Every structure is written in structure tokens, then in C-alpha cells.
Structure 1
Amino acid sequence: MLSQLIHTLPAAIQPSAIRNLDKVSEALSHCPEQSDAVYNDLIRVLVGSDYVADQLARSPMLLAELQQHNDLYRAYPTGEYQQQLSRLLISVDNEEQLHHQLRQFRQREMVRIIWRDLTRAVDMRATTADLSALADACIDEALKWLYNDCCNKWGTPHSSPAEGLPAQPQQLVVVGMGKLGAHELNLSSDIDLIFTYPEKGMTEGGRRVLANQDFFSRLGQKLIQALDNITADGFVFRTDMRLRPYGASGPLVCSFPAMEDYYQTQGRDWERYAMIKARVVAGDQQAGAELLEMLRPFVYRKYIDFSAFDSLRSMKEMINKEVRRKGLQGNVKLGAGGIREVEFIAQAFQLIRGGRDPRLQQRELLNILPLLPETVGMPATAISELTGAYTFLRNAEHVIQAVADRQTQELPTDATGQARMAYSMGFDDWESFMAELVHQRGRVTEHFADVIAPADENPQQDDHNSDWLLLWNSEFETEEGEAFFAQHGLDNPQQAWQAFNHLKSSRSVQVMQAVGHERLLAVLPKLMTEISAVENASDTLERVLLLIQAIIRRSSYLVLLAENPDAMKQLVRLCSASAWFSETLTKQPVLLDELIDQRSLYSPPSKETLQSDLRQQLLRIPEEDEEQLMDTLRYFKSAHVLSVAASDITGALPLMKVSDYLTWLAEVILEVVLDIAWRQLSDKYGVPMRAPGIPCDPDFIIVGYGKMGGIELSYGSDLDLVFIHDADTSLYTEGKKSIANAVFFTRLGQKIIHILNTFTTGGYLYEVDMRLRPSGKSGLLVSSLKAFSEYQQKEAWTWEHQALVRARVIAGSTKLKHQFEQVRRTILSQPRDLTTLSTEVINMREKMRDHLGTSEQESDALFNLKQDRGGIVDIEFIVQYSALAYAHQYPDLIDYTDNIRILDAMERNAVISTEDAQTLREAYKDYRSVGHRQVLQGRTNTVSANELEEYRQEVIRIWKSQLNA
């Protein structure tokens, strides 16, 4: 019977049908005799889906079991998926079993859904509803199991207790976006999710306590793994979390207040469209409904919002460019007249009028289209045609995906694939199917153009561009040029004309080749338009044109800016905010590449990611190629400093985080530099011996002092370092070219400084200051730990002990690090005479102020943030004095090396009053924040004397109180 049916098929698809029939022979042997109708359906499914054939081959009893329950032909009632899966998961004991059961369940139900779709036992809407219900069940049941498991480990998350109300248990809310949210999943769709929870708090009743954020982040990770991981059983649903606040760089889970704040202050247009379809698919449904109600004003404006047309038009143009770039014209979703255009038509009217007409606040597209004649006056014939086209295109999408369970919307390009698709779509041949497809897509294109017409050319913008080209190509006198810039609204026309004319008349421009000149003229009008729109346009113009002059002979950078308008906007924005930024790019134009990807530009990575990225980059470089190693290190540092600066300038990172990132970056680089130097020297001389027969491992550490030690690095900070080893100085290295241990470690220190300090085309890594080592400039470059300890005990000055307060190990031997920390603690914990200590600290402070502070003649007008009375160094000396004075009583004063945490310890131990500690913390942060701004604007550490007067007076008062001065 089956063979006869196959021979009735078009010749082109018979081989694939026979091949799939062979695969399911064992499955058929377990089934009773079937009716002709069922056999016809089986052949139709085997023609359309290799995936179904593979699943029936893997699980020979599956077809019989589906037939036994009549699941291939009956519609599931509401909740059926949930009930079935819940019963399966009752016996699950661990995550591995959970993953297995979820995947087995998904495979079974996908066979059922594809069978029903390809045989047209149901229509397209029933298929998408079934798929969405399946996804809902898998997400919710997996979440329930994992939530209980996590609560057993870490306790149940609770809200923080409020006045008169006890803490309430919290659950995760899983918001489904896109097609899942609208009950419109396709046969191989990924699922877009957002994880959120009601409010902050802690877990209760577990073996350990976690903050709710940590608990739900771990739970969210486990849920993603349960759904997305590919195992021997396949996957459940590909899971995409990029629609969450801040995208891939944002936290995996947000609290409700954080969600509301994000969408109110930073939500973008495309996120409004995405939120139209948002639906709570798992977790706490009641709390989730409250969240969506809270976010509704972000999506639906109370006024009629015609700006949606422009936004959708821009999004569609971006899609069109991507279609052209990737050759996706055969894509039934993204191509012209595709599914996305129908969605955009509905979304446009939802966003424009949804705030006024609640009927448009629905998720499913086919519920929205019928409302448009009444709500917005679209012709009923247009709606009928769009509905028919959408249904046809979604059916085509399902046929494409049913073949191999692949997430694609591309039409097949091979003859067999085309014949199979035409058959599954109910056409005699590919030509007939394509004629209908072209017809349906043409209808969509026509209606899309009527609703969201392409933007007209902007004559005003063209005129503006022509103006700038006229200025460039004409021989304006100075007065005419200045008048031109005044007419175009620049704040300082004289400065602007001078900067513009300087570039135009420069030798670099005069000797440009034709191709370079064309590239300059392609980018210049757009650049000038962007610059003229910023507040400090003349300063910005001067900064940007210096960069243009630096790159003019490497015109590929001009192409980069012309082809990446967003990069150009970021360039102007950041140069407007920071002279330092523009100077950095002018010195290293290669960093312009970093402006292209804004996600990485404004999302500095964690220390672990920095370590991984740098080591991956260095793996590609031969160890003996020191020049390339040094250039790679310099580019790595510059690119990440640029990213931190961009985040700092735009306010994406607070001051303390800026210093953290800059310090982490230096730590990661120092770790690698030590590895490189150690490897090079040990390859040449052999490994030094810590004791006879025991090699060093490496028994060497780099100690950071000052800003490095205190985790307070800024842009351009040098590194105060000390090198210490713990090897027997009477022993030698074990190598063919053996040298004394002391010589080896000295050369190791020299090599580290050489790699850091050498100036190359990429600049230098860091300036290194070694003057804090024992005996300063006259001392050995590298000390043994024993010599270091003895020096600190017997010879060090008080100011050297002050410096030791901020000392910590940056890189090297873990064992030696612990030994150094013990030495540091021993030195700093010595009881001291407070009168003597105070006198010595005050004397040292006065010497520094005399040498480095503002002169007496200028002190009434200017304030040096760092060195003047009441400034940063006064706060640092208060902290260092207190650590030295009281560490023997309160050991936690020297647990940390940064000023803020030492101030916290001082407050905790009543070494300083709470009010004074808070004042010093705020003053210190504000001073440093102003200092950061000064650096970024290319200014010195000196500000107007009255700018921070209140803080200055408070610091001076606390200085006198703490040091009895």
C-alpha cells in the first residue's frame, strides 16, 4: 500500500520519501493496519519532514503510542501539555534526568505537531498555538522543578520586611517575548525570554543565605541550561536572552523596580515593539501581570504617536540592508513582502493608537488585523489580503522548518527541496508555488508601502551637506568663513573657522590622492552636521579635525566612519565630552575600530573576561616575537581604557567602577607580563632554585603601592611597584647558562620594566615608579622577602610604613603573597607612640604640600585637588595615620588597602565618628570624580578655590581632630 502511494508522488520527491519510509519501517511494524487516509497522511509527512522520520527511527514505539491515544488527530484541551509533563517530572531526582525528560517530551510532541501541520489536520493558527502551549509547559514545569531544587539548596527567596508586614516568598517571573509572547511560535522558533522578580531581599531556610538577585540569577542560568543545552537527546528550545534590559551585557535577572527604571529612562523604540508581545509564560503569574501593567505606559502612549512610522521605517531599512548584505531575498520572513512587513503594519497602528484604543493592546497579529478597518480606517479588502498573505507565508515558513527542525526561513535552492516544498504546500510544481508566493508577497509590499511609505529624500539635509561641501570647495576669506560658522550655529565661529581652515590648508590634504580626497568628502559633510549639533561645537570640531588630520593618509579610517554612521556619532559625542578621548584617538587612530560595536564600547568586561581575552590573543603570537607581544599588550590596554572612558564619559559607570576596571586591567596585564618575562629568562638561564633541589614556582611577586595598591587607578596613572622574591641568594639557576639567583631576579625585574616602559608605536604600557622599594633609588631592584621584612622593621621611615598601608600583591606566587601579607600585617600592627607618629606624619605632609601644592600667591584663587590643604592627600594621610596608630588594637583596619574600606573599618571601630567618616568618604569620592573630569577634559588637577570649599574646610577640621594637629 505504502509503496503504491509513493509511486503516485512526483518523480523528484520519490527518493526522499522512500528513504524516509525505510527509516520508519521498524516503527510501522509496531502499528496495527491503518486506513488509506492515515497511510496517505504518513506519506505526506515523510515527504515533508526528515526530522519526523529520524525521531520515529530513534523511538520505534513512538508512532504506535501516538496512534493508541489518537494524539495525531485530536486537539489537546487547554492545560494538556502541562498535565502530561507534570506527571513525567514527578519521578525526576536530578537535573540530568530533568533535561532528559524535557527533551523526550519535546521530541514526542514535535512529531505530533508537525504531523498535524503537514497533513493540514489543523490550520496555521492552531499549529502556532500548540507550539506556544508546548513551550509554556516546558518553561513553567522546568522552572517549578528547578525552583524547588534551588530552595532546598539555598533557601526560599523573600522580600525585605516592610513596616508591619512580614517578608513574603518570592518567585521568578519569566516573560516571553516575540512569537512566544503572542502565541505565534513557529516549528523551529527560538524563544525570547526576560527573567525578573518582584523585589530585593534574601533567602531564608537554606544551608546558606543568598541575595534574591544571586538566587534568581543562578535559577535563571539553570533554566536556560535545561531548555537550551544540546545533549544526546537534543534540545528543548533555543533560548535567547538578548531582549532583556541592557541586552547581553546586562544582568541576567532584574527586579521589578530595575525593570521599570530601565524602560522609563533608557527604553528604546525597538523595545517598545518588542514589549507589545510580552506575556508572562512561567512563574508568578499574578506578580508578572502587575509588572506588565506597570510597563504598559512605556509601550502605549496616551497620545496618538505618529513617531512610530519613522521608527518602523528605520528598522525596516536596516532589515533591508541586512537582506541585501546577506543575500536573503529568498527569506519568507525578512525579504520584501515577507512576514516581518505584515507584523510592522499591525505594530505601527498598535503603537500609534494603542494608548487611546485598548482594543489594539493585544499580542496576536491575527487578532489585530481585523480591528484595523474600524480603528484606523484601513480597507477591509486590504485586511483580507494581508490575512491571507500572512497565513500563506507562515505555512511556507513551517514547511521549510519541518524538513530538519532548523531555524530558517530561506526557500530551498535545490530541485529536490523545491519539489518537496511545493508538494507540502499543495502545489503541483515549484513554478506554481512560486507564482502564488510572488503574488502574496506583492500584496504585502503594496500595503506596506501604503502604510509605512519609504522616507522622502530630505532636501533640507541635502542642502546642509551641500553647504559644508561649498565651504570646503570655495576660497572663503576669514570673515566669510567665520560668518558661515556663525550662521550654522557654532558657539565660537572664530575657533571653528581656524580649525577647519587649518585642516583644509594642511600639507596632508594638499598631497592627498584622488581616492583619499573622495573618501574625505564622503565623510566630511556628515561629520560636520553631527558636530554642529553638539553644545560645544567649536571645541569638538577642533578635536575631531585633529584626528581627521592624523588619519588622512590612512583613508581606510575615513571609510570606516562613512560606512558606520553610529561610530561617527559616538566619535563626535565622546570627543565633545572629553579632550582626553580625542587626544587618545589622535595618537592611536587604530582604536577607531572600537567605536563600531557599541555593546562592547560601553560594556567593559569583567576581570575574568579580560584575563581570558588577553591570553587568547597572546596564544596566536610566537613567544619569541617580543615586538608583536608588546604591541598586542599595548593595543589591548588602549582599547579597554577607551571602553572604560566611554562608559565613564556617558555616565554608564560610576567613579568607583571606573577605578576598579582600570585597576583590573593593569592587574591582568602585569600577570601576563610576569609570565612572559619569566618564560623568556627561564628559557635562557634555567629556573632559579628556592632551596637545593627545589625550583622556584616562581617565588616572586609584584607588589602594587599607591593608586595601584589602593584599587584607585585613573587614566594615565603610573604604577608604583616593588619586586620581591623568596629564593636562596647563594644558589644558582638550573640551566645550560646558569646564573646566580640574585642576578636572575634582578634581570626578571628589568625585563618586566622593559616590557611595561618601552615606548613603541602603540605608546608605552605603563610608566613604572620603583622608588618605594627598600632604600629607594639606591636599593636593589628586587629584594628578598627576608631583606624586605628586616628593612621595614629596622630602617624604614614612617612615610614608608604609610605607603605599606596601601600595598598589596598584584601578581606572582600565591604562597609568597600570603607570606608578604603576614609581613605587612606584622609591620603595620606594631604599637606606636601617637605623639611621635602624628608629628612625623604632619611633617611629611607639610613637605609634600610645599613642593607640590599651590603657591601662596595662587592659593586664594586655586585649589589643587590632590596636594593642597584639605585635599585628597590629607584624607589619605588621615587614613594611613589611623591605620598605623590603631591597627594593633583593631586588626581589620589593615585588612584592605583602599581608603574607602579603611574608613569603613575606622568608623566600625570608633576610631572616627560616623559623621566624620561619611564626610571623608563623600569628599574623597567627589574630589576623585572632579579629578576624573579634569583629566578627561585635558585639564590639570587644579580647580577654582571656591569650587569645593565646604569639603575642604571639613577635611581640614577632621585632620586637626584626628592627628591632634
Structure 2
Amino acid sequence: MSASERSGSLTPLAKLGFSRLGEADAFLRELADEAGVPREAALEGATYAADPDEAVSALTRLARRDAEAVRAISVDPRGWRALWALLGASTGFGDFFFRHPGEVAELRDAGLSLPSEHEMRTTLLESVGAADGFAADSSEAAWVALRVRYRRILARIAAFDLLSASPVDEVAAVSARLADAAGAALEASLAVARTRISGGAAGVGLFPRDQVARTKLAIIGMGKTGARELNYVSDVDVIFVAGADDATAEELGESRVVDIATRLAVQTMRGISEVEREPPLWEVDANLRPEGKQGALVRTVESHEAYYERWAKSWEFQALLKARPVAGDEGLGSAYIDAVQPKVWTSAARENFVDSVQRMRERVTEHIPAPEVPYQIKLGPGGIRDIEFTVQLLQLVHGLTDDRIRQRGTLAALDALVAEGYIGRAEASAFSHDYRVLRLLEHRAQLRHLRRTHLMPARPEELRVLARSSALAETGEGVWDLWESVKREVRDIHVRLFYRPLLSAVAALPADERALSTAQAHDRLAAIGFADPAGALRHIAALTSGLSRKATIQRHLMPVMIRWFADGVDPDYGLLAFRRLSEKLGDTHWFLRMLRDSSGAAESLSRVLSGSRYVGELMEWIPESAAWLDDAALLRPRSGVALQDEARAIQTRHDTIDDAMRAVRALRRREQLRVAMGAILGSITITELAAALTTITDVTIQATLRAVRREIVPPEDADLDFSVIAMGRFGGAELGFGSDADVMYVYRANGVEPQRAQELAVKLVSALRSYSEDQRVPLELDADLRPEGRNGPIARSLDAYEEYYRRWAVPWEAQALLRARGMAGSVKLIDAFTRMADQVRYPASIDLSAVREIKRIKARVESERLPQGVDPARHLKLGPGSLSDVEWLVQLLQLQHAHAVPAMRTTSTLGALRAAQEAGLIAPAAADRLAEAWRLASRLRSANTLLSGQTSDVLPVDRNKLDGIGRLLEYAPRSATQVEEDYLGTTRRARRVFEKLFYG
């Protein structure tokens, strides 16, 4: 082969990530010659290897040992992919497969799923021939078989992990399976231990078999094992507990039982950790037991209880937080947990508990060798321990009275802490993400050589492998930069939460005083309407504890505000939301001063927070909105001109579309919140609310279109006109909270090549949808009202619309145009579209077949579109006499008469209804009934969203929710029945009018 040919053959290798090209080329040729693996097939697997050089080297070494094993797996796509992934991420697996080449065949289907706990336990017990708790073989061969089978399982877990699309999202599942595998290995090793000490093949024979069988040993997983958060190679922390049934204990005596259990524990540990032909799995660490290394290896439950009652230090209770039975006797393990858990959750009341936990974390950091500090993933500042200690301290302190946060796992505990309001959503989300990133880095570092380590690699080539295997970055520099940013974020949150003064204040409250005051306050809060008095007490304590000025003002405010919360719709949520808002604004001087000094701000705040989860959740994101409560003018909707000016200024200030749209979304959230607060406090009407929400949506879409057009339409295609047409309730300026924004998209090429114009229009639509998305306050641009519905093109030219409506339009499409309103894009194009639409929606006459078709479709809507199981009478949009009835009747009248009655040429439902009344097309009484039903259904729909924070078109059956909706509509308290009766009565009357005029 010439030099140029050889160079050409190496180029693909470089593109796949090989760095030792000549060596790799030689290995690939050897694989082809010796194992019959074609170069192309080999390289297909190389794409999955984080370190293809190491992978091909290990693969060639394996082929030299067993060419047939390599050849067989190479024809199985999944197994081949898994093998490359494992060898490219782990030299440890390369060594394992070299020792046991037959294990390669077990990789078939690897990577598809994680093995279940039952599957792993069954597999490992089978490896030692376990039956009735005893292994068939107690020789060293049993331990070897166990270790090989365990590593087979480990390879399956690692293959799934390495081949997953997003490894960081699988950290929790992978860690849980690793913990389950460790428990299964301990179970199998315990079976071998029983046989060994009862006279198995090893000839130990210390105790009669029946005594061993009757002696119970429970293995309690601690730390990451107990929390099901284990690493690939980590010490497995355990505590051993001995026991026996009453008859056995009386016959043998406690000393004999403990002696047998101790021998079992020793042999179980040896089976996992002692050096044999097959390397140890991991260290079984029992040093978290009472008295540590100096204490007895095995104790009874009663002995453990006595120790924890009299001698245990605070850190030992912190360690017990994660305790979980993982192997051995399940009943004994559960008894142990039941005995120690109450002590765990009262430990925070011990003197100086919080200080001792804080000092312990500092000591851990201080004892890290200086050269390791920059590389420590686990123990260093901003590392895993910062997150774990923070979460555990919050759990232990607040878990004194709240069993809902008593979780073993860090991520589960974070979820519980944020759900119960002890940590902010943003902080919990960052902690959760950062924890998974740090654990993934730790996992990959350990996989590299299947060795216990918690250090980031220092060498650039190793960082590059880490980046590729973790999928966290594309380069070694990128993964290092990510790690540094995660450390900074973790350390910042840790310092703020871990040293929160509130923790010491809550933990230091004397037990007798805590019980007495809690009981009295509990009854008082329950009596005035709090559903969760215990939760309310925690929030009050959080708000009022301490000697600061902030706490002093809160103590003055609380008695009055608690009464206002109790008078509201949802006192519990109101107080929780107030606590969150106070924590957000706690360091600002104006917030508490405003609540104390303003005549109505505190009451208004209590009212909006207890009346609306929608408002409460948004205020948590926009806490400065509380200032609006001190000025009624600030609760009025802002004008479209003002919002447009702000949106344009935003786009001028920001260089990138992402930054600009992030600011536009913030503007929309803020203005939605302003309108919601105004609606709850009665400062705006339903008509003003609909107009304001429509204006906010208009401005958002207009700003988004301006931004995406600059990005997508190049200067040479600048003549392209593009517009957004509002449809449905959006087009009628009748939006409520939770309403979709119905739209159509139109363009005019103006000399741009037609196919190019269509492509640009579709790209504009896609970008509009993408950049308008907002998970916090959803905005869905729904284009289903376009011609042909979902089957039609997402965007059409004006000529295409004209042709379609002229030749193929069906009645419902003309009907849909009645609320079409141009709202963004080219003004000239909007004018042209409107002229075209007017010819379709305001016909000189409409034939009877079209009228019949509209009536038929309406009947189908009533029978087919209602959600299954929903009472039609309670559906606010599609039910009898509700929004749909009023709108379809008005639209039919418009199709029939708007050509002759110009006042009916409006996109407003109520505007067209009144115009029809004034034209004598509908009696005033009938128009009033329809308008009343439409307004009430609209108000109830928005109130439903405001109350729950979730969109729903169904009037709730739940009396509490009905009462809450009624309160938002200014009904008296406990008016659920009245709300229901008013709605059902109003819609019944409207339905009679509808049936007479629509179907008559």
C-alpha cells in the first residue's frame, strides 16, 4: 500500500476519534485476519466507544485469547455495540472479558434495558446453587462464580448506561440497580457463608446446620447502598443485625446466636472482598456500626437500640437516615428499621445538632489532601457531599414534625423538600441536575478502570474520554468547564441553605414546648379553616423564628394575615405561597414595610395568594409583583402601545434571539400575572380581562415574529410578506386564562420564487412555535382552524387561500373565518387577506345545504367531542347552553345576515349578538340569556384556571373547588351549590333559546 493510500485509509479512523491511527489500523487488520471481523463491521461498533483506541486494543487482545467469541458477538448488532461501548469506556471490563472470554456472549441484547432486582437476585443465587438459604458449594469456586456472574450483571447495567441517549437522566435508575445488584451479591455470599460455617466443602464446620439455619442475620445497607444511589465501584456500607425466634434464642442463648451471626457476617464479607482468582467486587465496610471499628461486628436489635439511646453521636443518626434492609432476614431487617427510625427523626432536637452537622461537613473538606482538592468530585467544595449534607440537614431538622420529607434518596428527598416548601423550586432543580451531573462524572471515572475513585482525571486524553462517555460535552475542555460551573452553582446553593439560621432555630426548640405550642396552635388553625394545621405551623415558624427585624415584623403581621388567609379560598396554599414569596423578598426592605404600613396591601396579598394557585406560582417567579398591591393603577392592564414599546426595546437590547425571546416570555408572564391579580381583586371586568389577555398575546406573537423573521428571511428574500391571522376566541379578542391561541399563517411571495417562499413561510411558522413555547405559562399556537384542518398545509400563500375558499371551502371553514383577525406581520397582506375573507364569511346569501351542514356538524361536535365520562351539562365550552352554543348561533346569524347588516361584521361574539338584536334578528330577552350564559361560562373557565393553576373546561364536582371558583366570582363563602345552580340554570335557559333559533 502506498503512503497516500495508507493515509487515506487512516482518515476515517481519525474522524471516529482514534488518535493512535497506525496502531488502530494494525489492530483492525488483525481482527479481520484472525477473527474474521470485517473492517467495516468493526468500525460500526467504534462509533459507540468513548476511547476507540483502548477499545480496539482490548478487542484484539480478546480475539487473540478467543477468536471465536469475538467472531460470534460481531454478528450480533446489539452485542457488538455494547462490547465496543464497554471496552471504550472501561479498561476494567477489557480485563474481565480477557479473563472470561465466554462472558462476551452474554452481551446479546445488552443495552436495551436494566436488569430487574428480582432477576439479579435470582441470577446470583443460582450462581452459588442456593436453596433454602444455603449454597450448594462453599469452596472458593463458589465465590469466583458469584463474582463472575455479578460482573456479567454489571456489564449489562453499564451497557445500558453507556448507550442511553441521555446518561445524565438515567443516573437515578442506574444507581438504584447498582444498589440492588450489591444487595443480591450480599445475599448470595451469605448463602455461601451459611454452608461454610455449617460444614460445607470448605470444611469449616463450626456450627450444626440446624443452628445456622435458625439464626437470623439481617444486612442493613447504609449510605448510598441504603439510598439506592450506589456507584459502580464503591465501598458498600453495612450494619449487621443478629436475631432468632423466641424458641431458638431460649435454646441457644443470645451469645450463641450473636456468635453464629458474627461468623456469617465475616464469611459474607470475605466472599465479596477477599482476594481470590477473580478480583474482589468491592469493600464491604461495616465501620458505621455502633462504636465503629472498636465495636462488635454484629449486635441484636435490642443492643443497637440501647447504644443509640445512650451513646450515639449526631453523625450516627445522620448515617441512619439512609438505612435499608438489603439482604438476609427481611423481618429482622424491618424490625431494626422500625426500632431506629424514630431516633433518627428526633435527633435534630439534640443540643447543637445543626452546629455539629455543619462542623462535620467542614472537617471533611479540611481533611482532603491539598493536591486533590481541584479534582475532588465527591468531597470537595461544590461536590456531591455539599448536596447530600444540605439535603440531609434540611430533612433531619424539618423531619422532626413532617414525615413527608423522610426519604432515603437524595433526589427523592429533594422532590419532597420542594413539594413541602422547604427549598425553592429553582434551587431544588439546580441541585437535582447538578447532583446527577456529578454522579455521572463519578460513575464514568470509576468505570474507566473499574476502581474506586472520586477524582476527575487530570490528563487531557482522559478528560476527552470522560467527555465522550458521559455525553456531557464534546471535548475535554468542555467537560472540565461544565464541572467547574456545576461546582460553583452547588457551592452557592449549599452555603445559602446549609447555613440558614432558621435551621438552628427550629431544631433548638425544646421538645416539651414544641409539643405544647403545636397542639394548641394546631387546634386553633384547624378551627379557623386550615386543612393542614401542622403544615401551616411549619410555615409560620419559618416566617417568625429569630431575632431579626424581618422576623419581628412577620410576628406582628401573622395574627391578622392568618385570619385573612383563613377567610380565603385555600388558606393552606395561601400561607405556603406567602412563605415562598417572603423568602424570595426577605432581604428587601420595601416588602414587609409595605405589608405593615399599607392600608390594603397585606389583605390583598392574602386574598390573591389564597384564591389562586395560578397567581401564587407566578408570584414566586415574579416576586416584585407584590409591589403592585400598593397602587391600584398598577393592577390595571397596560396598553398595547406600552407593551409594544417595551417589546421593541427588549429586542434592541439583546444580541441573540434566545436572550430576546427569554425577555419577551418574561414580559408575557408578568403581564398575565398583572391581569390575574386585577381580576381576582375585582379591578377589571371579564370584557377588560379578555381584551388584556388578547393584547398580551398579540404583542408576544408580534415580537416573536419580528425576531424570527430577522433570523430566517435573508435580505435577498426581504420582499416576502408574511402574516399571522388570529382565529377563534383569539381572533374575537375573547381569550381567557388557559385559552389556546388559534391562528392561521399566510404569505405573499412578491417576486420570491414560489417554492422558496413556501419553505421560508414554513420555517417562520416552526420558529414562531418554538420560540413562543413557555412551560411556566403555556402559549400554544393552534393552527387547526386552517383549511383542511390538520391535513392542510401549515402555511399558504394568499392566492392559495383565495383559490381554496373559491373552489373547495366547506361551510365550517367559512364559519371559522368569521373570527379571523390579522394581528402580526405585513399590514398590506393583512388588509388583502381581510378583503378576501370578507367575501367568504359575509356572503350575499347562504344556501340551505350549507346551513344544514353547519347544523349537522354542530350536532356531531356535541356528540363526539365531549370527553368520555364528562357530564355534558358541566362542560363549559361544549355543553348545552355554554360557549359553543352561543358562538355557533351567532356565527350562523352572521353568515346569513352580516352581508346586509354591516354592524354584524365583527369578530366579537357579543358584539355580533348585540348587532343582531339591534337589527331585529333576535329578541332582546333571548340575546340577554345568550350573553349571560356566554359571560358566565367564560368567567367560570378563567376562574377554574386561576384557582388550580391548570386549564380545564369542566365545572368541578368537588364542592371545595366549586366554592373556590365562586369566591373568585365574588360569591359569598360556601356558595358551591349556588354557583352550580346558577350555571346550570343559566345554560338551560340559553339552550332553549339556542335550540329554538339554531335548529328551529
Q: TM-score, normalised by structure 2?
A: 0.43
Q: TM-score, normalised by structure 1?
A: 0.44
Q: Which has the higher helix share?
A: 2
